[in-house]
Amino acid sequence: MANNSFGICKYLIVLLFIFLSTPHLSLSSHEEEEDIHDFLPKYGLPRGLIPRNVESYTLSSSSGDFYIKLTRQCDVQIGIKDTPVWYDEEIQGKIWKGNMRVLSGINIKVGKLWCPVTGIRISSSDEVVFLWRCSGHEAFSAADFEKLQLSSNPRTTTAFMSKSVV
């Protein structure tokens, strides 16, 4: 009987140890940790690259895989030509120093076509370069991503980058 009690006690101690040593497994996003806009500069990317309406995000620091959930889809007008960029509610890809690759959930308007953005990189001349599936690219000044504004009307400029104060 005493041997059985010792076995149960040992089992409970092991369960308690596992429970106390793995609280991070229950977190599915970085909401309580760091805002994604503060996190992007650690990868050499501008804060305003992602719209302000982020609901949650996850990031694997080992593989660079990320997933961002926005509260809603939104348009972004970037640069002096106000180039339209469309952010879906869900954005995912891989991130590493100065790059986002294998992207889905971001589209750029080229002429009359919307092209899926497959990558974003920072060039040596401090430009943010959007690469799209239609074998093209567009470079913007990093200053175009300093500030981010949101309006309330989706699909008519719900989010746009600006140097002006919000």
> Tens digits of per-residue pLDDT, 56-114?
999 998 999 999 999 999 988 888 888 999 999 999 999 999 999 999 999 999 888 89
Residues paired with 76 in a beta bridge: 85
Q: If you average pLDDT over each of 1-10, 18-27, 47-56, 92-101, which comes out highest?
A: 92-101
Residues in the chain: 166
**Largest distance between two CA atoms of the chain:** 81
For residue 160, how many other CB atoms are within 10 A of its CB?
Answer: 21
pTM, whole model, 2 decimals? 0.69
Q: Which CATH class is domain 28-162?
A: mainly beta
Using CA atoms, how far residue 110 sits from 120, 131, 133, in Å, is: 16, 12, 11
Domain ranges of the chain: 28-162
Using CA atoms, how far residue 8 sits from 1, 12, 22, 139, in Å, is: 11, 6, 21, 64
Residue corresponding to tokens 């694997």:
60
Contact (CB, 8 A) for 121 and 99: yes
Residue corresponding to tokens 């992207």:
103
